[in-house]
């Protein structure tokens, strides 16, 4: 069934719905509100203090659990998540990694993973990296005969903060009793400091096994409110996303900001149009490189002097700020997991289903129906802006026309809406890249 707006309605929509990307378009779900309220600042503190108490979590440190290094830390994390909810399927995600790059010897690497099964196989991940690092910049040197990777590396914020956020969300979601459509995965990754090794291994396996990962919310350093330049900010958080501007990663970042404004309005989400901080990287990059939508969520003010240092201790963290960032993750993840999957907006040959019919000057949007959707929301914006400016809810249709709206001047997208009003991430209509032309010259 084809729906269309009249020119008069288009004018009203443009006038009234200016910059609605943060506008609340549905009632808040009390289940999600309750889930958010269950996130405990005190529990985050207790988890982090325990995690940093292990001498080190360096990926190359002693794996024997009795040594109090990475082996002991990952076993404690596994046991803790198993105890937090019987609904969680908790296991080590283990790989045999050969010597390479910053991996100085063959090792067994284990991510710690908790899965909350949903009604469908599509997955939504939240992650942090539990390994830590001490670069010994001006600090004590390893004792003679000591493994350099066994020196004290508390890693309370980098990335104990993202790890305990992941663990606390596993508990909160597992105990929520909510029946999610998507399967939720809470994963603490290893080997980040040696080149995103655990993330690459897991993403590579997921790609090979054709696992449907809709989103990866990667949290790396999310608890520091006072930067090294003595400037504090506990009211905002940064979300970095891989380009180009309408990539799946960018759509996920926009989604986090939109849902966060509804459920955690006191925390401002700063969207950063870079894959990560300048010249640096994180585990979300590995997932992006293997074809999955992933973003990095990170504090606004970093303290470089505490990173990769024995000074990265809980005393330098704000657990109130960490709890706010955990609530942001929870709100967006829960909404996405309750919503239908995002609609497909490309045809079988990969071409966008966007045209100029029926007049030749209209925007004609078509999409593939999403399982469980009862309606859709169409978005559009001027092609030189970064966030959606206009939106309109349409019925349970798979085609919609905006009369006299040029597909050359605007970017368009569509999201699926479920029976309870939860919306999917937006699927954007992206102009496919042009192939290279080779001219044969005699």
pTM over 0.85: yes
What is d(CA 426, CA 345) in angstroms, rounded to the nearest whole number? 10
The pLDDT assigned to 148 comes to: 81
The mean pLDDT value of the chain amounts to 93
The pLDDT assigned to 32 comes to: 98
What is d(CA 222, CA 50) in angstroms, rounded to the nearest whole number? 17
The pLDDT assigned to 3 comes to: 62
Angle at 184 between CA 178 and CA 185, to 5 degrees: 145
Percent residues over pLDDT 90 in the chain: 86
- Is residue 350 very low, low, confident or very high in pLDDT (cuts 50, 70, 90)? confident
What is d(CA 71, CA 54) in angstroms, rounded to the nearest whole number? 10
Give the tens place of pLDDT for each residue, 222-255.
Answer: 999 999 999 999 999 999 999 999 999 999 999 9
DSSP secondary structure code for residue 226 in this structure: B
Q: Give me the residues paired with residue 215 across strands.
A: 124
Say which residues have a Cβ less than 8 Å from residue 230's Cβ, sequence separation at least 6.
none
Dmax over CA atoms of the chain, in Å, equals: 80
What is d(CA 230, CA 252) in angstroms, rounded to the nearest whole number? 31
Q: In degrees rounded to 5, what are phi and psi of residue 33? A: -60, -40
Confidence check: pLDDT of 256 > 50: yes
Confidence check: pLDDT of 340 > 70: yes
Angle at 210 between CA 205 and CA 213, to 5 degrees: 85
Say which residues have a Cβ less than 8 Å from residue 378's Cβ, sequence separation at least 6.
365, 391, 392, 393, 394, 400, 402, 412, 413, 414
Q: Boundaries of CATH 3.40.630.10 in the chain? A: 38-338
DSSP secondary structure code for residue 345 in this structure: -
- The pLDDT of 377-392, averaged and rounded, is 96
- The pLDDT of 389-404, averaged and rounded, is 97
Give the tens place of pLDDT for each residue, 65-95.
Answer: 999 999 999 999 999 999 999 999 999 999 9
Give CATH superfamily name and number for 38-338.
Zn peptidases (3.40.630.10)
Q: Look at the domain 2-26+343-428 and name its fold.
A: Immunoglobulin-like (2.60.40)
- The pLDDT of 201-212, averaged and rounded, is 98
Per DSSP, the three-state class of 411 is strand
What is d(CA 430, CA 36) in angstroms, rounded to the nearest whole number? 34
User: Both tokens of residue 258?
Assistant: 């939109």
User: Both tokens of residue 162?
Assistant: 């993202």
Asked if the peptide bond before residue 115 counts as cis, ω within 30 degrees of 0, the response is no
Give the tens place of pLDDT for each residue, 153-174.
Answer: 999 999 999 999 999 999 999 9
Picking from 269, 308, 284, 256, the residue whose alpha carbon sits closest to that of residue 423 is 256
Say which residues have a Cβ less than 8 Å from residue 413's Cβ, sequence separation at least 6.
246, 251, 345, 378, 379, 380, 388, 426, 427, 428, 429
Asked if the peptide bond before residue 285 counts as cis, ω within 30 degrees of 0, the response is no
Q: Are 214 and 121 in contact (CB under 8 A)?
A: no
Q: In degrees rounded to 5, what are phi and psi of residue 214? A: -75, -30
- The pLDDT of 315-323, averaged and rounded, is 97
What is d(CA 434, CA 427) in angstroms, rounded to the nearest whole number? 21
On the 0-12 / 13-18 / 19+ scale of CB atoms within 10 A, 105 is exposed
Q: Boundaries of CATH 2.60.40.10 in the chain? A: 2-26+343-428
């Amino acid at each position: 069934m084809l729906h269309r707006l009249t020119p008069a309605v288009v004018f009203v929509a443009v006038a009234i719905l200016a910059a609605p990307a943060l506008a609340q378009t549905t009632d808040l779900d009390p289940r999600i509100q309750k889930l958010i309220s269950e996130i405990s600042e005190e529990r985050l503190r207790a988890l982090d203090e325990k995690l940093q108490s292990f001498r080190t979590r360096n990926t190359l440190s002693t794996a024997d659990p009795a040594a109090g290094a990475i082996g002991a830390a990952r076993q404690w994390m596994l046991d803790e998540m198993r105890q937090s909810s019987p609904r969680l399927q908790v296991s080590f995600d283990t790989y045999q990694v050969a010597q390479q790059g910053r991996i100085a010897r063959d090792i067994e690497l284990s991510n710690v993973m908790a899965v909350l099964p949903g009604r469908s196989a599509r997955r939504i991940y939240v992650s942090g990296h539990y390994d830590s690092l001490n670069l010994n910049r001006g600090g004590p040197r390893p004792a003679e005969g000591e493994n350099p990777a066994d020196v004290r590396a508390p890693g309370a914020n980098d990335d104990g903060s993202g790890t305990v956020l992941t663990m606390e969300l596993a508990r909160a979601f597992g105990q929520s009793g909510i029946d999610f459509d998507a399967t939720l995965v809470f994963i603490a990754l290893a080997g980040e400091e040696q080149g995103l090794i655990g993330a690459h291994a897991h993403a590579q396996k997921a790609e090979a096994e054709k696992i449907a990962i809709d989103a990866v919310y990667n949290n790396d350093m999310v608890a520091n409110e006072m930067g090294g330049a003595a400037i504090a900010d506990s009211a905002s958080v940064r979300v970095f996303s891989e380009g180009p501007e309408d990539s799946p990663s960018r759509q996920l970042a926009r989604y986090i900001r939109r849902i966060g404004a509804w459920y955690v309005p006191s925390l401002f989400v700063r969207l950063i149009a870079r894959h990560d901080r300048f010249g640096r990287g994180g585990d979300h990059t590995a997932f992006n490189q293997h074809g999955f939508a992933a973003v990095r969520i990170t504090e606004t003010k970093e303290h470089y002097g505490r990173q990769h240092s024995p000074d990265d201790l809980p005393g330098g963290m704000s657990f109130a700020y960490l709890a706010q960032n955990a609530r942001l993750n929870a709100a967006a993840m829960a909404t996405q997991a309750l919503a239908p999957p995002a609609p497909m907006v490309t045809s079988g040959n990969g071409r966008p289903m966007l045209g100029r019919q029926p007049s030749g000057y209209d925007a004609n949007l078509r999409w593939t129906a999403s399982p469980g959707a009862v309606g859709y929301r169409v978005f559009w914006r001027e092609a030189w802006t970064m966030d959606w400016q206009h939106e309109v809810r349409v019925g349970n249709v798979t085609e919609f026309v905006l009369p006299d709206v040029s597909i050359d001047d605007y970017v368009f997208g569509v999201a699926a809406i479920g029976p309870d009003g939860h919306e999917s991430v937006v699927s954007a209509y992206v102009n496919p890249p042009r192939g290279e032309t080779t001219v044969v010259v005699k």
